[in-house]
Structure formats: C-alpha cells, structure tokens
Amino acid sequence: MITSTMPKRVQILKHKFSTSIGLPFKELLPEAAIIEIISELKIKYRCRLFDPIVTLWAFLSQVLDADKSCRNAVSRIIAHLVGEGVELPSTDTSAYCQARIRLPEKFLEKLFYKVALGLEEKVIEEYLWCGREVKVLDGSNVSMPDTLSNQKEYPQHKNQSCGCGFPIAKIGVLFNIATGAVIALVIDVFNTHDIQLARKLYEFLKPGDVLLGDRAYECICGFS
C-alpha cells in the first residue's frame, strides 16, 4: 500500500529544518559519509572553516530556508560554532560563497545517489505496490544566472531578445514514490523532448520496477 501522507511529512520536515538553529543536516548527513565520498573522488581541500563538509551542511539548509541569503547561511554556521568553544568567524559572506562554488559537481552527484539508494534499502513491503517498487518520471524547466558560460551551455529561448532573457535548461528526474527521494537527474538544453531525457534515465530502473509518468511519456516505445 502506498501512503498518501508523504507530502505532509515532507512539509513537516522542511519546516523543521528551516526553523531550526545551526546546521540540522549534520545529524542527517554524518561527516563520515561525506568524507567517504571525498576520499572516493580524491578531492583535496585545505583544513579551514568552510571545508566541503561544513559548506555542504550550510548549503542544504540555505536551500530549504525561507531566508535563502548567504548571510543567513553564515549565521547558521556561527550558531553551530557557539557551543564548540572556538573563535567565531566574521559575518562576511565572501569566504562561504567561494567555498560553495568550490564544491565539485561530481561530489554532489555522488552524494545525491548514495543518499537515494540508502533510503531505498530501508523501504518495507507495505510501501510497495503489489510487491513492486514504483518509480515516477517527470520533467521541468529551470532558469539560471545570466552568465556567458550558462548562455553557451543552455541558451535562452529563441523568442527572447539577446540580453533580455535567462539561460533555460530542461531537466528530467526519476524518483521513488515510497521514499520521495530523487534517484537520478539529467539536464539538457531547453528544447530537448521529455522522451529523450527519459531514455537517459532508463538505466536507473531495476527489473520488476513499475514506471509511472504523465502523458508526455505515453510513447512507451521510447524506452526500447
């Protein structure tokens, strides 16, 4: 049986994280798990306050926080350090912003999959449909900062005049309906068809999975 309380639980957790003090993701995403991936990817970093671990914890909180400013993210780090008996850093946000930029995309991607798979392993029988896992396929569009590199990689819509629009990308995601976690994500230029993105996600399905999607994916032969 698939529960219908998932959205409510997500909202409760989101509210809890956004109203908490300090770095709540420290408990959910232990330092050891992050270091394991850093070691796998052989990522080198200096021993400083804004290392990949603290920066990631702050970044995740920033995404869910009602106040998404970098200043608020730094304030969370300071609140976290108050009880640690160490010298508190400046409230200046430049070091944090630079550290966030330094987070390797591959590092985030690896961590992303590790968390999703870990949640799947904990799914019990009652959350399956007829004993099968249900995976949901969906797509959307996202805009991003108007930089030369973004415009080159993800050009704005052709109907927009040069300098009057933002780079736009098409994303496709596959998530587990039982855990609510995204299993895989692909990104391409704006005019990419949903079926093209879906083909890239097919490799993340397992034998026996049930795939659920809207009418954009009605051509099931697209997965052959």
Quick: pLDDT tens for 185-224: 889 998 888 888 888 898 888 899 999 888 877 665 444 4
| Other Cβ atoms within 10 Å of 127 Cβ, number | 17
Residues 27 and 76 in one domain: yes
* 2-6, 101-105, 110-114, 156-160: least confident range: 2-6
Contact 205, 135 (CB under 8 A): yes
Closest CA to 55 of 26, 15, 32, 33: 26
- Note the pLDDT of residue 13: 60
Give yes or no for residue 10 having a pLDDT over 70.
no
Give yes or no for residue 162 having a pLDDT over 90.
no
Asked whether residue 12 is assigned to any structural domain, the reply reads yes
Count Cβ neighbours within 10 Å for each residue of 144-154 and write b for 16 or more, e otherwise. eeeeeebbeeb
Asked whether residue 121 is assigned to any structural domain, the reply reads no
Residues 10 and 68 in one domain: yes
The larger pLDDT score, comparing residue 97 to residue 49, is at 97
**Which range has the top average pLDDT, 8-17, 78-87, 153-162, 207-216?**
207-216
Asked whether residue 52 is assigned to any structural domain, the reply reads yes
- Note the pLDDT of residue 69: 93
- Note the pLDDT of residue 90: 86
Confidence of residue 2 (pLDDT cuts 50, 70, 90): very low
Q: What are the tokens at 58?
A: 């702050």
Residues 38 and 79 in one domain: yes
Domain boundary among 78, 111, 144: 111
- Note the pLDDT of residue 56: 93
Asked whether residue 142 is assigned to any structural domain, the reply reads yes
- Note the pLDDT of residue 102: 92
Asked whether residue 1 is assigned to any structural domain, the reply reads no
Residues 94 and 166 in one domain: no
d(CA 96, CA 199): 37
Asked whether residue 91 is assigned to any structural domain, the reply reads yes
Asked whether residue 37 is assigned to any structural domain, the reply reads yes
Residues 50 and 22 in one domain: yes
Alpha-helix residue ranges (DSSP H) falling in 65-193: 70-82, 94-102, 105-120, 148-153
- Note the pLDDT of residue 18: 64
Asked whether residue 116 is assigned to any structural domain, the reply reads no
Residues 97 and 136 in one domain: no
Across the chain, the runs of DSSP E, i.e. the strands, are 134-143, 168-176, 182-189, 210-212
The structure's pTM equals: 0.72
Residues 101 and 162 in one domain: no
17: containing domain: 6-111
**How many domains does the chain contain in total?**
2
Give yes or no for residue 176 having a pLDDT over 70.
yes
Residues 209 and 138 in one domain: yes
Domain boundary among 43, 76, 111: 111
- Note the pLDDT of residue 16: 62
Domain boundary among 111, 140, 172: 111
Residues 89 and 173 in one domain: no
Residues 19 and 96 in one domain: yes
Residues 159 and 215 in one domain: yes
Residues in the chain: 224
Residues 84 and 138 in one domain: no
- Note the pLDDT of residue 217: 74
Closest CA to 61 of 87, 88, 100, 89: 100
Q: What is the pLDDT of residues 14-69, one digit of tens each?
A: 666 666 778 888 888 888 989 999 999 998 888 888 899 999 999 999 988 888 89
